[in-house]
């Protein structure tokens, strides 16, 4: 396994829409393992393939405190969204930024597991937020897109400044 570089905002590659995975093979399983190791090392709870420069519909997440509940989703799609919740979100691609975002409270998601089996889960709370956040990445969207234009402009300026200073990006 290898640690992968995580792209950071405003890298234009984060805006690319991921393409569906055609087949689940050794290379995809290795990418998922590398993504999981990268996510754990960065102290995150989710990571989409687009965040590591791979435009494939693949995400990993683990919300457990022990790091022993890894979930891998290939070609995930949300079938049902219900309710509304507001929670604070952060992102490995937007370091040191935490903002409140409104998302569906409950979702039903369908995906393939790494054995190629179709899975469907009803999720709520933080699990629902995490899946929605990561699928947004696969669609080329970031959580900062939910913020006001003023907050987006401030984040962009902060990212540009840190990039010039070499402390972020």
106, 128 Cβ separation under 8 angstroms: yes
User: What count of other Cβ atoms lies within 10 Å of the Cβ of residue 80?
Assistant: 11
Look up tokens 């519909």; give the residue: 57
**Contact partners, residue 117, CB within 8 Å, separation at least 6:** none
Q: Which of 54, 96, 105, 134 is catalytic?
A: 134
DSSP 5: P
Cα atoms in the Cβ-side hemisphere of radius 13 Å centred on 78:
22
- Residue 104 CA to residue 50 CA, distance in Å, equals 22
134 has catalytic annotation? yes
Active site residues: 134
């Amino acid at each position: 396994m290898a640690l992968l570089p995580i792209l950071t905002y405003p890298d234009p590659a984060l805006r690319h829409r991921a393409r569906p995975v055609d087949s689940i093979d050794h290379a995809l399983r290795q990418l998922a393992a590398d993504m999981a190791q990268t996510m754990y090392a960065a102290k995150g709870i989710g990571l989409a393939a687009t965040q590591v420069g791979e435009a494939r519909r693949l995400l990993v997440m683990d919300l457990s405190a022990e790091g022993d509940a890894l979930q891998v989703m290939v070609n995930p799609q949300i079938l049902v969204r219900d309710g509304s919740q507001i929670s604070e979100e952060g992102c490995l691609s937007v370091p040191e930024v935490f903002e409140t975002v409104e998302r569906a409270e409950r979702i039903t998601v369908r995906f393939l597991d790494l054995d190629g089996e179709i899975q469907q889960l009803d999720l709520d709370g933080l699990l629902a937020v995490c899946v929605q956040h990561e699928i947004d990445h696969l669609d080329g969207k970031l959580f900062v897109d939910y913020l006001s234009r003023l907050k987006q402009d401030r984040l962009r300026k902060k990212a540009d400044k840190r990039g010039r200073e070499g402390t972020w990006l």
